[in-house]
Structure 1
Amino acid sequence: MARKAIPIGPNILALVEDARIDLACAALALREGENEPEFNLSEEIPNSSDEVLVNEFRQGIVDTLSQFDLDELRPIEQRCRRIRALADGKGISSLTTIVERQFTEEQVLQIEAQPDPLCRSIWTFLNARQTFEDAESFHFARQFRDHGKMYDAFEVELEKTVYLDANAINETALASKITEVLELKTACTVKALDLPATEAHTTSIMLIVRHGGPLSSVHDHRYDGRRGTIYFRPPNEATLIYTPSKRQIEICGDSPVVRQKVSDAFAEVTLEHDISQKPLTWKRYNLSRFRTSLTLPIPTIEGVEIQVARVLEVQIRLGHWSRKLALKVALDDDIQDVATKYLGRGNIFRRAASFSRIGIAVKYNRAGDTKERSLNITVSGARSCNLQSNKDPDERSLGFALLHEWGILSAFRQIDNGDLRSMLPQLVDLYDLEEDEVSGGYLREIALDPDRLIEGGLLERRDRQDVVLIEEDDINGEVEIKPSSTPGMVSATGPFGEDAGERPTADLERYQINREWLQETVLKLIRPLLTNKGAQVLDQDLVLMGDIGMDGGSTPVFFARRLGDPQIINKLDQLLRARNASGIGIVLTSSNETLTCLGPNVVVPVLTHLSDDDEDLVLSREALAQTFSSGRNLATGGSSVAVLKAGTQSASLCIPGKAPLAILGANQIRIFEKLVLAHLAGSPDVKTADLIEDTGVKSPQQAFKKPMWENILDVYIAKGSTRGYWRLVV
């Protein structure tokens, strides 16, 4: 007979089997919320020296926990995962580093008495939670250097190096500044720690910034079966590391807006740096040029004569970060010839998806100076370069100038408000996309310059498409993309090896949208319209922006995306319907073709209400007020019962006195059209067979998803006075 699977997760099981038994029991007995179950483990813990009794006790714990559901064990599984993360690999050194800086002598003696890293991690979690969480932040910060979505590096153009330690940082003043720039509604805390030098990193300072995120909400299914809404402010964290020798700020956080603003605040308050005159430099390195050639041209730099500029080292990753291929040559070698001779003409470097390291040697002399000088430049990935730690400002400037001339370097440059206003239609199109990745061809079609958006932080360069779908001439299917001998082009090979012609390389480049930064940019352009500002994230597709004065009152303003998708309409309609206590509002949308109303709100497409005259407002206040005024009556249900179509797949059911209902798909529209016609004819009851005719469903309920049916039953549709009939609820 097969053994029944136990619900215990791997981290709980590892803690029970490997940790000293008293510490394991203490960790498992901890409850951090009212919803967590009490395991009622035995308090009579056997002596750890008696292995037989200890093993029996461990098995008893497993048997006890196996009686609980997976959902009930999830919180303790997550805690065990956190504990094990700081007891393995680099997590051990992260915990040790922070412990050495925060523990008292008595605490140090206590933790040193623990037999192994797992027990030390558990002991810290139980007895010094703040230290444990600081060690987690330090551990994640080191790891996130390889995770671009949560990591940024900025350079500070200081006239001289400013050496600091944690004691020199005014944590209170910095927390106050961060609270101001992030417009936080709750207090922010800052903690500074000194980081010692390691083999990979020089002496640094780490700051842990903990703050509340934008007010958000989730639906809650209560014990009585009713649905409610829980509003909460998620605990957010940003971890900043400043390395004085590099004049570099590294920061981890889940929002690019937070990363930049916290870095600016640190530079201004702690380094006394005037960011208005010298903004922090945000550099990105694009190594894709080395796919086609490892040879560098000699550029012209004013005041400098370049004699030699050669690539001496190239390293690529082979599908996974842990696998790499590297080639190093001497200065007298031509790395392009060596790669061709020993690796073949179509070698792996030409087909590389990404380069992780490029080493460049430069020989030069300054104009009017016969002394020959050398400069070594090493670029590691998209965000790191050894020039950051070069103490000679002239050499740093020369190195960055060379990288810029070769098309390798692009630095962050804030896009001014005027340019953003002119780009608003295209930015709104980007914001409305479901996917977070776009191609160069798409950006060209909507007239956006990817390099400018990269400089402004809205895009990040990814890699190049190697397979493309083509439907033209005699080719219909996926074609493979390969290098071409024509500069700026790639060749395409059809599914049966046929020549599919050439395509512009730029069209096949792929870019990642910085979603949070793009949202912040779009909302910032619209925000001047509002009389009361304060963003609240209600859903990934819906933001409450604030209020605007309309018709002598205060009208809530929302911003919705992807309203061309029926599923999104359904989701947001229910969400807004639950908030109807705030009154009739405005839903700005990036979609042009959509419903007139969403819940008790007037839908206003942004791109059809742009301002031509006002330099401060991207939207026309007059056009917005006119649309709101004409749609307000409809948002309360209109003056008569009707189904108003917005295309073949979406419509609004209007009933006076009720918020319009978004109905989606031909079946839902057909059902409500029949109910409306029956109501207007004076015979409201419609037989089930007639109602579902030509819909393919066996009952009206099957035409709706369960949550929607539960919300509309006996509110918009109900059973008729006779069995087997349905009617509109008016």
Structure 2
Amino acid sequence: MARKAIPVGPHTHGLIEDARIDLARAVLAVREGENEPEFNLPEEVPNPLDDESINAFRQEIIEILSEFDPDELRPAEQRCRRIRALADSKGITSLTTIVDKQFSEEQVREINSQPDPLCRSIWAFLNARQTFEDAESFHFARQFRDYGKLYDAFEVELEKAVALDSGSIDEMALAAKITKVLELKTNCTVKALDLPATTAHPASIMLIVRHGGPLSSVYDHRDDGRRGTIYFRPPNEATLIYTPSMRQIEVCADSPVVRQEVAGSFAEIALGHDVSQKPLTWKRYNLSRFRSSLRLDVPRIDGYEIKFARVLEAEVRLGTWSRKLLLKVAVDDDIVDVADRYLRPNNIFRRADGFSRIGIAISYNRVGDEKERTLNITISGTKSCNLQSNKDPEERNLGFALLDAWGILSAFQQIDPNDLRAMFPQLIDLHDRTEDEVSGAYLRELGLDPDRLIQGGLLERRGRQDVVLIDDDDVGGEAVIKPSAREGMVRTEGAFGEDGGERPASDLEMYEINRQWLHETVVLLIKPLLTKRASQILDPDLTLLGAMQIGGAEVPVYFGRRLYDLKTLERLDLALRARNQAGVGIVLAASTEMPSHLGPNVVVPLLSNLSPEEAEIVLARDGLELAFRNNFSLARGGATPQVLRSGKQSATLHVPGKDALALVGADQITIFERLVDANKAGSPDKQVKELMDGLGSRSPQQAFRKAAWESILNNYISKGAKRGYWRLVVDTPIEAPV
């Protein structure tokens, strides 16, 4: 007989088994919302010295929790996951660091008296929640620092060093500045902490910026069976680390715009730096050139004579972040010869997917000065370099000039708003792509300069294509890429050595789209159109931008992408019909292939409603308003039931008094066309055999995904008066606005 699965999650189970039993029970007894169930755990805890009673008590807790559904146990599982995260090796170090900064001597003695890291983490969660959450922020910041996720590093050029610690930061002024630049609806809070030096990082200052996100809502199924709406403002957070010795600002946040604005606000308020005159420098380091050679040429730099430049240290990651290979040589060694001699000619450095660390030694002298000098440059990953910590501004400038000459350095330069506006149609095309990677050839066809987009943060380099497809009479199918004697060109060679001709090397360069930054850029260009701004990402392909005034009413405005994809279309239609309380709105579509409506909303193509070049905003407001008014009645169902096709595989069902329903696939369209015809003929009930004739299935339910079917059953389609019949559900239409 199959054993019943236990719904208790792994983190909850692990905490019950490993923690001191009184602390485990206390954590599981916590309720942070009215919707969380009461577990009714036993009040009396066994004697800690009685192992048998303790084990029996642990098993009893698991059995009690096993009576609840996984959804009911999810909040407890999330709390246990957070607690265990601060109990591992790096987690407990983060907790200890913050505890030492915030706790009184009595609190330190109390937490240190706990028997192990898990118990100390639980004690902090139960007795000092704010400190626990600050430790979580620090722990996450350390992870971002190490792995580069949701992370940016900015460098600030100060005229003179600023003596700074957490106590000298005006938290109130900084919070007010961030609230203003991010256009927050509620005030944010800022907390500053000093971070001691570690083996990996110098002494730093950490700021935790907590602020509310866009107003959101969820449906709540009440005990009486009715559905209600809970409105809430989700908590957002940004963590900033400033390292005075490096003059570097690091920011972790889920939005690139937030990262940039928070860094700029900190530089202005805390460092007294005029960002408008000297913007923060956002540098990226591209180490991919070392895949072809670890040797460096000697470029010409005005004012300097370069004697040599050599790579002395190279580190690559082997599959995962925890595995790495580091090769270090002396300044008189040739690192290429050493690698070939001891690691064989076809060594890992020639085949590396990516370098995580490169150390370079430069010998030079200044023009007119006979003194021979040396400069060491160490680059770690894509965002960290030791040059900024160099106190000599001339050496810093020389180092960055060399990295630029070698094609390693890419400095961030905000693209001028007028230039962004001019390339708006191309950015929309780029944003509407399914794949995140794009070739140089595709960018050339769009008329976009990849180097400029990289400097603006919209793209990142991802290497070069190794294989291309050739549709030619002599060379068909795949062709490999070979070097060419002509500069800037590559050769293509067929599977049997056939010459496929030459192509520009730039066409085969691959780039990755920075989705977040591109999305923020596009949204920023659209926002001047709005009278109310409340950006909220509802789906990876759907964003609520805010509202615009039409006929004295606020009309919600959404931005949708990939509407040519049928699965995306069905998913977004379902999401928007669930938001029908917002009223009829506008969906600005990035795609040219699209339905006329999505839920109770009019779909309007962005690229067909561009403003003239001399206009202040990128979209023509009059065109959007006209499209909205012309299609309003159909968004609410129109005057009579009808199915309007927008392509071979997509259509929209309009039923008076109901939100428009997007239909995807031939089966869905055929089913509702037959139901509409039956309704118009005066015999609304359609026998299932006739309804499904030629469709290869026996029930209309099989043409829809589960969630979509549940949303339309008894709303758009229902069973007929007789068994085996189906009919269209028809209601009363709503008047259009004047």
TM-score, normalised with respect to structure 2? 0.92
Q: Does 1:170 align with 2:148?
A: no
Whole-Å separation in 2 of the counterparts to 1:397 and 1:403 = 10
* 8 Å Cα contact 1:292-1:483 kept in structure 2: no
The letter of the residue matching 2:268 is E
C-alpha offsets along residues 270-300 of structure 1, whole Å, 9 cap, x if unaligned?
1111000111110000011111122212112
Deviation at 1:305, TM superposition (A): 1.5
Whole-Å separation in 2 of the counterparts to 1:549 and 1:185 = 20
In structure 2, the gaps of 5 or more residues are: 731-738
Whole-Å separation in 1 of the counterparts to 2:94 and 2:154 = 23
Deviation at 1:102, TM superposition (A): 0.5
Whole-Å separation in 2 of the counterparts to 1:90 and 1:142 = 9
Counterpart in the other structure of 1:277? 277
Q: Does 1:431 align with 2:431?
A: yes
Whole-Å separation in 1 of the counterparts to 2:571 and 2:230 = 17
* 8 Å Cα contact 1:149-1:254 kept in structure 2: no
User: Taking structure 1 as reference, are residues 503 and 82 closer, same or farther at Cα in structure 2, changes over 3 Å only?
Assistant: farther
Deviation at 1:196, TM superposition (A): 1.0
C-alpha offsets along residues 358-377 of structure 1, whole Å, 9 cap, x if unaligned?
11111111111111111011
In structure 1, the gaps of 5 or more residues are: none
The letter of the residue matching 1:186 is T
**1:519-530 alignment, distance < 5 Å:** 519-530=519-530
The letter of the residue matching 2:599 is G
Deviation at 1:688, TM superposition (A): 2.8
- For the aligned residues, what is the CA RMSD? 2.8
Whole-Å separation in 1 of the counterparts to 2:29 and 2:683 = 65
User: Taking structure 1 as reference, are residues 706 and 329 closer, same or farther at Cα in structure 2, changes over 3 Å only?
Assistant: closer
Whole-Å separation in 2 of the counterparts to 1:300 and 1:535 = 49
SS in 1 for 2:376: strand
C-alpha offsets along residues 535-592 of structure 1, whole Å, 9 cap, x if unaligned?
2333332222222233454432221112112222223223333444444322111011
Quick check: 195-204 or 535-544, which moved more?
535-544
Whole-Å separation in 1 of the counterparts to 2:269 and 2:449 = 35
Deviation at 1:339, TM superposition (A): 3.2
Whole-Å separation in 2 of the counterparts to 1:79 and 1:656 = 48
The letter of the residue matching 2:158 is L
Whole-Å separation in 2 of the counterparts to 1:728 and 1:606 = 33
Q: Does 1:286 align with 2:286?
A: yes
Quick check: 391-400 or 608-617, which moved more?
608-617
Counterpart in the other structure of 1:390? 390
Aligned residues: 730
Counterpart in the other structure of 1:303? 303
* 8 Å Cα contact 1:217-1:538 kept in structure 2: no
Identity of aligned residues (%): 68
**1:659-670 alignment, distance < 5 Å:** 659-670=659-670
Counterpart in the other structure of 2:361? 361
C-alpha offsets along residues 88-133 of structure 1, whole Å, 9 cap, x if unaligned?
2122221111111111111112112222222211111111111111
User: Taking structure 1 as reference, are residues 688 and 9 closer, same or farther at Cα in structure 2, changes over 3 Å only?
Assistant: closer
User: Taking structure 1 as reference, are residues 68 and 645 closer, same or farther at Cα in structure 2, changes over 3 Å only?
Assistant: closer
SS in 2 for 1:379: strand
The letter of the residue matching 2:238 is A
Q: Does 1:563 align with 2:547?
A: no
The letter of the residue matching 1:563 is L
Whole-Å separation in 2 of the counterparts to 1:223 and 1:472 = 68
C-alpha offsets along residues 152-200 of structure 1, whole Å, 9 cap, x if unaligned?
1100110111121111111111111111111111221111111111222
Quick check: 165-174 or 83-92, which moved more?
83-92
Counterpart in the other structure of 1:589? 589
Counterpart in the other structure of 1:625? 625
Q: Does 1:48 align with 2:48?
A: yes
Whole-Å separation in 2 of the counterparts to 1:621 and 1:317 = 52
Q: Does 1:232 align with 2:204?
A: no
SS in 2 for 1:330: coil
Deviation at 1:418, TM superposition (A): 1.3
Counterpart in the other structure of 2:450? 450
Counterpart in the other structure of 1:76? 76
Counterpart in the other structure of 1:135? 135
**1:397-546 alignment, distance < 5 Å:** 397-464=397-464, 506-546=506-546
Whole-Å separation in 2 of the counterparts to 1:70 and 1:470 = 53
Counterpart in the other structure of 1:573? 573
Counterpart in the other structure of 2:735? none
Counterpart in the other structure of 1:677? 677
* 8 Å Cα contact 1:467-1:480 kept in structure 2: yes
**1:60-71 alignment, distance < 5 Å:** 60-71=60-71
* 8 Å Cα contact 1:217-1:232 kept in structure 2: yes
The letter of the residue matching 2:369 is D
SS in 1 for 2:675: helix
The letter of the residue matching 1:27 is V
* 8 Å Cα contact 1:360-1:377 kept in structure 2: yes
Counterpart in the other structure of 1:213? 213
C-alpha offsets along residues 378-410 of structure 1, whole Å, 9 cap, x if unaligned?
111101111021111111111011101111001
Quick check: 645-654 or 10-19, which moved more?
10-19
SS in 1 for 2:348: coil
SS in 1 for 2:274: coil
User: Taking structure 1 as reference, are residues 487 and 123 closer, same or farther at Cα in structure 2, changes over 3 Å only?
Assistant: farther
User: Taking structure 1 as reference, are residues 349 and 690 closer, same or farther at Cα in structure 2, changes over 3 Å only?
Assistant: same
Counterpart in the other structure of 2:23? 23
Deviation at 1:464, TM superposition (A): 4.8
Whole-Å separation in 2 of the counterparts to 1:664 and 1:623 = 28
SS in 2 for 1:444: helix
User: Taking structure 1 as reference, are residues 482 and 34 closer, same or farther at Cα in structure 2, changes over 3 Å only?
Assistant: farther
User: Taking structure 1 as reference, are residues 406 and 599 closer, same or farther at Cα in structure 2, changes over 3 Å only?
Assistant: same
Counterpart in the other structure of 1:549? 549
User: Taking structure 1 as reference, are residues 395 and 7 closer, same or farther at Cα in structure 2, changes over 3 Å only?
Assistant: same
Quick check: 261-270 or 629-638, which moved more?
629-638
Q: Does 1:157 align with 2:157?
A: yes
C-alpha offsets along residues 296-324 of structure 1, whole Å, 9 cap, x if unaligned?
12112111111111212212112111222
Deviation at 1:475, TM superposition (A): 7.5
SS in 2 for 1:651: strand
SS in 1 for 2:350: coil
User: Taking structure 1 as reference, are residues 275 and 492 closer, same or farther at Cα in structure 2, changes over 3 Å only?
Assistant: same
User: Taking structure 1 as reference, are residues 685 and 187 closer, same or farther at Cα in structure 2, changes over 3 Å only?
Assistant: same
Counterpart in the other structure of 2:201? 201
Whole-Å separation in 2 of the counterparts to 1:86 and 1:306 = 49
Counterpart in the other structure of 1:33? 33
* 8 Å Cα contact 1:214-1:537 kept in structure 2: no
Counterpart in the other structure of 1:182? 182
TM-score, normalised with respect to structure 1? 0.93
Whole-Å separation in 2 of the counterparts to 1:653 and 1:3 = 47
User: Taking structure 1 as reference, are residues 171 and 126 closer, same or farther at Cα in structure 2, changes over 3 Å only?
Assistant: same
Quick check: 204-213 or 467-476, which moved more?
467-476
**1:616-655 alignment, distance < 5 Å:** 616-655=616-655
Quick check: 72-81 or 236-245, which moved more?
72-81
